[in-house]
């Protein structure tokens, strides 16, 4: 058993336990009542099991919420966050009672669902059901991976548990099976999930929808499962938690029979307790029924507070003890200790990018997915914190780090992950790994299947997590697999997520620059969107602007000849850039001066200063956009003087070059459209 398990000592009397639990219950009830918004039922029913965990097991330091070896706690059922805020306040985190009184109000640190970065002690943004459970799997993966890398005989400097509290909704969502299956397969013994088995969801009893044997399901995934029939039996919950910690070879699920809205005379065990304030009268009746003073609201008995606040001294001594162990470790293994600090801080080592290749035109044609694979091979050895893989598409996504071994139960030091065909869980696991800190997580799949992992990608952006996505087969150009596999609207969709940087490089050298940017971006996810098909390499000798241009999102790749002001600008991304270059040359031969702007990232370009954007796209010049994706987003770039060669239907099954040709991605069509735009402008001018 690990050292964290020794914390499981009951020190409160049953009466004090009950006082503390009711304190949590009624803080949550009062928060929701004051806001007249929120979810009282889950906190009322789950307060006792949460208390058993926080009081008897959880290793945390309220005065240093980011201490690396703390246990992680994720409230996957984020709608029950009033409970989490109450716990954070009473145990002594920097979350004053005033903040509990401002639950769900503008600018408060107690938002409607837990938000990472807003409230000390909140380890992950939760609310979209199921995501938190898979985040927990990612955190538990990070723990074993870092333990394998850094622990040494007699020195367990990475040694903590991941606890997740889930509800019926979490376990109904498909992602719970994806993540549960993966966690069971990986033998993540330090992942412990408490299930608020209250038999109620929004529409009523779980008899309506959810009748499978959940315990058998998780047992089949390879989990250790236990049931506690009476949630208010703190000792029983504590014992189950202890059993779970002692089970080191399997993740644990503890189903606790809780009662939604516990204590409310008219709402307990009904859906009415789920998502609205109890009401003034029902609050009064509930408090009276449980022997709690009706007034004042937000009442915290001194005795309960004193008991909860022991967490501060306990956390301080646990952390101090860890720090002294770390000191001894640092004396024996100074390099490893420094390395541990580096990866936990998220700092990059010196010369991390020294082996990144520069490609020559003679190397081409090369698919950008292949160039990305070569970048990963160059980065992997210099960045041992890089860890990732794909959703069973490794040979296609080129996400393997050569020689780094598979991450699997017998080899937690392996860095090549096999997520299985579980895109949603993969996204959420990557988030959990990033939230844990100490790793640079990345994951790949076909671009079209980002639809399956959009929820965690959205959360990665919300939480500003440094997660890297490797998406290949990026357009209709991928060919024969046809419309089901040809992404069309995905570029626009991902670009519209605030904080998500989408990069669609034009060739192998832009791909290298994109990877350099992705590794360097410590706040926020980066999606690399890569081709299946080979593309000409843009030689750095001829196009020296690439390394500096890519981070700006868009740049002048090739201007009109002899410095003449261009008459039209061809904007292209990814595989269409080389067509734009050919178009420019042909237009020049036809007497039209065209500039080619490569725009691997519209997000990054939009964030550049006005002066730079004006330099690249001077006001008044007509634009022709060439991109094998939905045309919709581009229309916002410039009013009427824009034409787009795009894809506004679902593609077709045929060899890639044939599909591209049919959709108008040819040099001939580019020139035709450019002339058309210019003719229209001339016509307009002559009408004035």
Residues with active-site annotation:
423
Burial of 619 (0-12, 13-18, 19+ CB in 10 A): exposed
Are 430 and 473 spatial neighbours (Cβ–Cβ below 8 Å)?
Answer: no
User: Considering the complex, what minimum distance in angstroms separates the CB of residue 45 from ligand TPP?
Assistant: 7
Nearer to ligand TPP, 59 or 79 (CB): 79
- Assess 127 for contact with ligand TPP (CB under 6 A): yes
User: Considering the complex, what minimum distance in angstroms separates the CB of residue 492 from ligand TPP?
Assistant: 23
**Taking CB under 6 A as the criterion, which residues in 76-95 touch ligand TPP?**
77, 79
- Assess 43 for contact with ligand TPP (CB under 6 A): no
Number of residues that bind ligand TPP (CB under 6 A): 19
User: Considering the complex, what minimum distance in angstroms separates the CB of residue 243 from ligand TPP?
Assistant: 24
CB atoms within 10 A of CB 187: 18
Distance CA 502, CA 553 (A): 9
- Assess 129 for contact with ligand TPP (CB under 6 A): yes
DSSP 607-647: TS-HHHHHHHS-TT--EEEE-SS-SGGGGGTSSSSEEEE--
User: Considering the complex, what minimum distance in angstroms separates the CB of residue 194 from ligand TPP?
Assistant: 13
| Tokens matching residue 529 | 């969107």
- Assess 34 for contact with ligand TPP (CB under 6 A): no
According to CB under 6 A, which one of 274, 307, 314, 369 is a site residue for ligand TPP? 274
Q: Under 8 Å CB-to-CB from 383, ≥6 apart: which residues?
A: 348, 349, 352, 440, 519
- Assess 198 for contact with ligand TPP (CB under 6 A): yes
User: Considering the complex, what minimum distance in angstroms separates the CB of residue 352 from ligand TPP?
Assistant: 37
- Assess 428 for contact with ligand TPP (CB under 6 A): no
Question: Which residue has 């099976």 as its token pair?
Answer: 177
Nearer to ligand TPP, 127 or 184 (CB): 127
Q: With H, G, I as helix, E, B as strand and everything else as coil, classify residue 79.
A: helix
Nearer to ligand TPP, 201 or 560 (CB): 201
Distance CA 444, CA 442 (A): 7
User: Considering the complex, what minimum distance in angstroms separates the CB of residue 198 from ligand TPP?
Assistant: 5
Strand locations in 173-258 (E): 191-196, 200-201, 204-205, 224-228, 252-256
Interaxial angle between packed helices 423-436 and 454-462, expressed in degrees from 0 to 180 and rounded to the nearest 10: 20
Q: Which stretch of DSSP H or E encloses residue 548?
A: helix 546-549
Sole window of 39-47, 326-334, 508-516, 667-675 interacting with ligand TPP (rule: CB under 6 A): 39-47
| Tokens matching residue 21 | 């639990």
Radius of gyration in angstroms for the set of CA atoms belonging to the chain, rounded to a whole number: 28
- Per DSSP, 448 falls in state G
Nearer to ligand TPP, 41 or 651 (CB): 41
- Assess 451 for contact with ligand TPP (CB under 6 A): no
Sole window of 35-43, 94-102, 154-162, 366-374 interacting with ligand TPP (rule: CB under 6 A): 35-43
- Assess 112 for contact with ligand TPP (CB under 6 A): no
Burial letters for 625-664: b for 16+ Cβ neighbours within 10 Å, e otherwise?
bbbbbbbebbeebbeebbbbbbbeeebeeeebeebbeebb
Sole window of 58-66, 123-131, 292-300, 380-388 interacting with ligand TPP (rule: CB under 6 A): 123-131
Sheet containing 568-572: order of strands: 555-558, 594-598, 568-572, 623-626, 642-645
Nearer to ligand TPP, 272 or 491 (CB): 272
User: Considering the complex, what minimum distance in angstroms separates the CB of residue 619 from ligand TPP?
Assistant: 44
Sole window of 133-141, 192-200, 297-305, 541-549 interacting with ligand TPP (rule: CB under 6 A): 192-200
User: Considering the complex, what minimum distance in angstroms separates the CB of residue 233 from ligand TPP?
Assistant: 19
Distance CA 121, CA 66 (A): 8
According to CB under 6 A, which one of 11, 202, 313, 338 is a site residue for ligand TPP? 202
User: Considering the complex, what minimum distance in angstroms separates the CB of residue 82 from ligand TPP?
Assistant: 11
Q: Residue number with the shortest CB distance to ligand TPP? A: 169
Backbone angles phi, psi at 160, to 5 degrees: -140, 165
Sole window of 168-176, 462-470, 479-487, 575-583 interacting with ligand TPP (rule: CB under 6 A): 168-176
- Assess 167 for contact with ligand TPP (CB under 6 A): yes
Question: Which residue has 């691997």 as its token pair?
Answer: 600
- Assess 201 for contact with ligand TPP (CB under 6 A): yes
- Assess 624 for contact with ligand TPP (CB under 6 A): no
Strand partners, 228: 256
Are 237 and 53 spatial neighbours (Cβ–Cβ below 8 Å)?
Answer: yes
According to CB under 6 A, which one of 238, 260, 513, 526 is a site residue for ligand TPP? 260
| Tokens matching residue 274 | 């789920």
| Tokens matching residue 285 | 């009746």
Nearer to ligand TPP, 12 or 253 (CB): 253
- Assess 200 for contact with ligand TPP (CB under 6 A): yes
Which positions lie near ligand TPP, rule CB under 6 A?
Answer: 39, 41-42, 77, 79, 127-129, 167-169, 173, 196, 198, 200-202, 260, 274
């Amino acid at each position: 058993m690990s050292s964290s398990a020794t914390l499981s000592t009951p020190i409160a009397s049953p009466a004090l336990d009950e006082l503390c639990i009711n304190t949590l219950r009624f803080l949550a009830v009062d928060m929701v009542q004051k806001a007249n918004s929120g979810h009282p039922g889950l906190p009322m029913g789950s307060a006792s099991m949460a208390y058993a965990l926080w009081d008897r097991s959880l290793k945390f330091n309220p005065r240093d919420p980011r201490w690396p070896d703390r246990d992680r706690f994720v409230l996957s059922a984020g709608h029950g966050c009033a409970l989490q805020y109450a716990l954070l306040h009473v145990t002594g985190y920097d979350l004053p009672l005033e903040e509990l009184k401002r639950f769900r109000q503008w600018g408060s640190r107690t938002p409607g669902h837990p938000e990472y970065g807003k409230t000390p002690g909140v380890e992950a943004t939760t609310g979209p059901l199921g995501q938190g459970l898979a985040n927990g799997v990612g955190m538990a993966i990070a723990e074993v991976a870092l333990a394998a890398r850094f622990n040494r005989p007699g020195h367990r400097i990475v040694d903590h548990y991941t606890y997740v509290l889930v509800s019926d909704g979490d376990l109904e969502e498909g992602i719970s099976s994806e993540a549960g299956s993966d966690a069971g397969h990986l033998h993540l013994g330090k992942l412990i999930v408490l299930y608020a088995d209250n038999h109620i969801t929004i529409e009523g009893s779980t008899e309506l929808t959810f009748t499978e044997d959940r315990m058998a399901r998780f047992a089949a995934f390879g989990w250790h499962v236990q049931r506690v029939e009476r949630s208010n039996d703190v000792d029983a919950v504590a014992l189950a938690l202890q059993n779970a910690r002692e089970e080191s070879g399997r993740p644990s699920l503890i189903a606790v029979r809780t009662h939604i809205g516990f204590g409310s005379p008219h709402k307990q065990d009904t859906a009415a307790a789920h998502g609205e304030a109890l009401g003034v009268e029902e609050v009064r009746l509930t408090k009276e029924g449980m022997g709690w003073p009706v007034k004042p609201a937000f009442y915290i008995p001194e005795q309960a507070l004193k008991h909860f606040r022991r967490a501060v001294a306990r956390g301080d001594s646990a952390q101090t003890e860890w720090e002294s162990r770390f000191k001894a470790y640092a004396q024996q293994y100074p390099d490893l200790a420094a390395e541990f600090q580096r990866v936990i801080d998220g700092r990059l080592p010196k010369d991390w990018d020294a082996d990144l290749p520069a490609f020559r035109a003679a190397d081409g044609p090369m698919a950008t997915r292949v160039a990305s694979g070569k970048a990963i091979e160059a980065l992997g050895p210099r960045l041992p914190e890089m860890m990732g893989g794909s959703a069973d598409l490794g040979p296609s996504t080129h996400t393997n780090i050569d020689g780094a071994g598979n991450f699997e139960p017998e080899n937690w030091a392996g860095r090549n992950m096999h997520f299985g065909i579980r895109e949603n869980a993969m996204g959420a696991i990557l988030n959990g790994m990033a939230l844990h800190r100490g790793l640079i997580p990345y994951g790949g799949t076909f671009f079209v299947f980002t639809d399956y992992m959009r929820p965690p990608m959205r959360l990665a952006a919300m939480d500003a997590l440094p997660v890297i996505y490797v998406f290949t087969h990026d357009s209709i150009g991928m060919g024969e697999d046809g419309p089901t596999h040809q992404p069309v609207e995905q570029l626009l969709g991902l670009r519209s997520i605030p904080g998500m940087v989408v990069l669609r490089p034009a060739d192998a050298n832009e791909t290298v620059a994109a990877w350099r940017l992705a590794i360097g971006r410590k706040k926020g996810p980066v999606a690399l969107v890569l081709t299946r098909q080979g593309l000409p390499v843009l030689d750095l000798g001829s196009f020296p602007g690439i390394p500096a241009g890519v981070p700006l999102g868009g740049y002048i790749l090739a201007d009109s000849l002899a410095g003449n002001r261009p008459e039209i600008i061809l904007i292209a991304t990814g595989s269409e850039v080389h067509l734009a270059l050919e178009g420019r040359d042909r237009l020049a031969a036809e007497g039209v001066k065209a500039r080619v702007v490569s725009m691997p990232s519209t997000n990054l370009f939009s964030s550049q200063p006005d002066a730079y954007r004006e330099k690249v796209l001077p006001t008044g010049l007509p634009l022709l956009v060439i991109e094998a994706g939905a045309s919709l987003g581009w229309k916002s770039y410039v009013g009427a003087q824009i034409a787009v060669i795009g894809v506004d239907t679902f593609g077709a099954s045929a060899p890639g070059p044939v599909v591209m040709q049919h959709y108008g991605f040819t040099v001939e069509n580019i020139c035709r459209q450019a002339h058309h735009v210019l003719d229209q402008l001339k016509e307009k001018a002559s009408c004035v």
